[in-house]
Structure 1
Amino acid sequence: MRILLWHVHAAWTTAFLQGPHTYLVPVTAERGPYGRGRAQTYDWPASCVELTPAELAGADVDLVVLQRPEEWALAARWLRRIPGRDVPVVYVEHNTPRRDVPDSPHPMADRDDVTLVHVSHFNDLFWNAGGTRTVVIEHGICPPAAEYTGELDRVGVAINEPLRRWRVTGTDLLPRFCEVAGLDVFGIGAGRLRGLLPPGTGLYDDPPQHELHRQLARRRVYLHPMRWTSLGLSLLEAMMIGIPVVALATTEAVEAVPPQSGVLSTRVDTLVEAVRWLIKDPETATEVGSRGQAAVRARYGLDRFLAAWERLFKEVAPCMSTPSTAR
């Protein structure tokens, strides 16, 4: 099957691309938000093919995967076909609602020409989709090559655009953790925090995914201070590596981190003390990380993720041929 989707969230897309299909990703000369093409810092397979808007006009497309409301009009214009009528459509919702919670109407609410896919049960609970058909396909994680060592008695945190997203990502909480341990921040725009965090804080701006995993694996603890994100994939990746996690007990994190597999709380003081404890006790940190690793492998394995998507593909695009093998 040939699937059109935009490059929006590179980590989620990396897992999605591990299926047995051909994936068409729009690319424009400026590589802006609606034409990024292939990811530059992630290892995407050759089955992901860049196409310009002009090339999409004559492209054979079996399914469109949308992730932002404005992509509906783009798909119609670039494909010269009506999504939901001429070609099947699914819409993936990665984010929590930002306004009128818990009554927020979803942009795809009350439609019969699209299937709405939530990446977490929390999203499904809080978005009001009306009569639109919805399903939940939880994240799948490609097993990182890195292995936890915890050799550095420091805390790692991965946040994209931590300055712009400030309270959403809990960036404002970071100085409190710097009081008990050295902190290293990784992610797009991390360098913009220079001067806003205590001296000695490491800032690593958008490292390649494999390097991010390698560096995080050396830190004793992973911190997840997100207030209002659906479920940061960096949390699941850290757990998959075997890093003990300390996280705000918000949104889907309470499902992703079972008891004894990490420390969750809505009290920041509790999380600060948990970081202090794990930094000083490497043996316990390793034990907690191992339990988290087992939990995330069981729930967010790549095979389960890809199998769930294959079942949905057969429902929404019944003419698709059944693949004989999956990569």
Structure 2
Amino acid sequence: MRILIWHVHGSWTTSFVQGRHEYLVPVLPDRGPDGRGRARTWDWPGSVTELSPDDLRATAADGGIDAVVLQRPHEVDLVHDWTGLRAGVDVPAVYVEHDTPREHAVTSRHPLAAQSTIPVVHVTWFNHLMWDCGDAPTRVVEHGIIDPGALWTGEDPSLAVVVNEPVRRGRIAGTDLVVRFGRELPLHVYGMGMAELGQFAPHLAPTLHEDYPQADMHRALGRHRVYLHPYRWTSLGLSLLEAMTIGMPVLALSATEAPRAVPPEAGLLSNDPAQLESRAREWLADPGAAAAAGAAAREHALAHYGVGRFLADWDEILTEVGS
């Protein structure tokens, strides 16, 4: 199949484009949010092709688009504006819901809830439960992680965190907890928006890291003893699963999908920051215990979040909508 998909979430898309299809990714001259094109910090296969809106229209006119994978509400209009096709009518389409509702779950109606031709595919069971999807058919395809290898050494007795735009995302990403942990424990933060975080929390400035290609960041993370996942309200951060696959012991809030993703032997889930700090100190002082938890984390992540299962699940859905 030839699948039109916008480059929205780099890590998720990196797994998605490992499949057996051709992937058409819109590109604009400024490579802004609606036209990022191919990834520059992830390794994407040659089956991913950048196309401008004009190229997409010509491709659609020749019948060259077999399905559309939507990820943001306004992409429904972009599909029509850039290809002349109506998603779910002229071309099969699915909508991937990456996020939890921004407001109260009991009052959050999904943007596609009033239609029944475009299935909403949630990335976690938590998302599926929290969103009111109305008449839209729904499915769940849990994340799939490309195995980066058992990179954990734990040689640096410190915590690592991965978060993009931590100041803008604030309490959603647990930035206040990152600031707190950074006052009590050796901690390094990786991601985009580190300059803003350094201004917001000057004591963290010496240990902020930005502009790492994905493979380099995985190797850097593996040198740290422990992974901290402070997110309060996200469906399930891929960085948590990547850290587990690397072989890192993990600390996370007992919130959203984390209880399903992290078994007790792989780390500690708690909504008490003091408990998380206590376990961090134990692992920083005992690399053997940290290694055992990290090995369990890697085993669980590979068994439950492998890219092979992920791609097979997606092939099933794409076959359904395309038939």
Q: Which residue of 2 aligns with 1:20?
A: 20
Q: Which residue of 2 aligns with 1:57?
A: 57
The verdict on how the C-alpha distance between 1:199 and 1:115 changes in structure 2, with shifts beyond 3 A counting, is closer
Q: Map 1:182-197; keep pairs closer than 5 Å.
A: 182-195=186-199, 196-197=201-202
Q: Which amino acid is 1:50 matched to?
A: E
Distance, in Å, in 2 between the alignment partners of 1:78 and 1:287 is 52
Q: Map 1:1-327; keep pairs closer than 5 Å.
A: 1-59=1-59, 60-145=64-149, 147-195=151-199, 196-198=201-203, 201-318=206-323
Does the 8 Å CA contact 1:27/1:52 hold for their aligned counterparts? yes
Q: TM (normalized to structure 2)? A: 0.96
Gapped regions of structure 1 (runs ≥ 5): 319-327
Does the 8 Å CA contact 1:38/1:48 hold for their aligned counterparts? yes
Gapped regions of structure 2 (runs ≥ 5): none
Q: Which amino acid is 2:120 matched to?
A: L
Deviation track 1:112-140 (CA, whole Å, cap 9, x = no partner) reads 11011000000000000012100000000
Distance, in Å, in 1 between the alignment partners of 2:278 and 2:99 is 30
Distance, in Å, in 2 between the alignment partners of 1:8 and 1:239 is 23
Q: Which amino acid is 1:285 matched to?
A: A
Does the 8 Å CA contact 2:197/2:205 hold for their aligned counterparts? no
Does the 8 Å CA contact 1:182/1:201 hold for their aligned counterparts? no
Once the two structures are TM-superposed, the CA of residue 191 in structure 1 deviates from its matched residue by 2.5
Once the two structures are TM-superposed, the CA of residue 176 in structure 1 deviates from its matched residue by 2.4
Once the two structures are TM-superposed, the CA of residue 103 in structure 1 deviates from its matched residue by 2.5
SS at the partner of 1:198? helix
Q: Which amino acid is 2:158 matched to?
A: R
Does the 8 Å CA contact 1:191/1:204 hold for their aligned counterparts? no
Deviation track 1:129-171 (CA, whole Å, cap 9, x = no partner) reads 0121000000000001451100000111000101110111001
Q: TM (normalized to structure 1)? A: 0.95
Task: State the identity as a percent.
Answer: 50
Q: Note the aligned Cα RMSD (angstroms).
A: 1.1
Q: Which residue of 2 aligns with 1:321?
A: none
Distance, in Å, in 2 between the alignment partners of 1:304 and 1:78 is 32
Distance, in Å, in 1 between the alignment partners of 2:253 and 2:206 is 21
Distance, in Å, in 1 between the alignment partners of 2:257 and 2:204 is 33
Once the two structures are TM-superposed, the CA of residue 178 in structure 1 deviates from its matched residue by 2.2
SS at the partner of 2:265? coil
